[in-house]
Amino acid sequence: MKKIQISPSILSGDFSQLGNEIQRLEKGGADMIHVDVMDGHFVPNLTIGPPVIKSLRKHSTLPFDVHLMISPVHKYIENFANAGADIITFHPEASENIDETINHIKSFNKKVGLSLNPNTGINIIENFLDKINLVLVMSVHPGFGGQKFMPEVLKKIKDLHEIKKNKNLNFDIEVDGGINFDNSKIVKDAGANILVSGTTIFKENKGDIKKNIDSLRSS
């Protein structure tokens, strides 16, 4: 069993103090920083782009776990790689050629993730699981923070874990969307080893980030 890692989403942080927020997360024991990039086209919200990621890079040595919810994704990979992303995750629906986009990300010596929306089946990415580092399972419909966890994705997590075990693969299973103290255990039990959380980490226990990260990891 892989070590449980916590990847806090800065989408729930104070956008006027993002550098400080990232430093707080690092001091609080985060394993990486989850950066949600939305284009207002692939998903109905706009967030941040490469210049902001580049400016945040100097505030932390933690890996930047960058989730690209943009379409078409391929032509923007280089910008995010050069801005300081360590892991670049994209949606199969946003690429005209998934294999080419995977190889493009690898050409910058970055880790590669593929993300599955709640309605996207594993079959769409199954042929690529031996080429990637991470599968990000969305447990909400992407676009906005603070949504409720969709328990129906637990089967997808379990199925991914089973495929991984049966084929002796080594990709991480990351889950993002509505993760809190009440559901983190069932998500981990299903096979996830990276939890993305925003609202819970920044808001619970009067904003005690270390306590909230520790609780998600150990629950």
Is 31 a known active-site residue?
no
Distances (CA, A) of 128 to 44, 120, 143, 166, 204: 27, 15, 25, 15, 37
Q: If you search the block for the tokens 């594993």, which residue do you land on?
A: 122
- Cross-sheet strand order for the sheet of 33-38: 5-8, 194-197, 172-176, 134-138, 111-116, 87-90, 64-69, 33-38
**Cα(205)–Cα(71) distance, integer angstroms:** 37
Contact 113, 89 (CB under 8 A): yes
CB 111 within 8 A of CB 77: no
Among the options 39, 172, 176, 214, which is catalytic? 176
Pairwise CA distance, residues 49 & 66, whole Å? 10
Tokens at residue 11, please? 């989408």
Reply yes or no on whether 176 is catalytic. yes
From the candidates 14, 31, 36, 86, which is the catalytic residue? 36
Q: Which residues are catalytic?
A: 36, 176
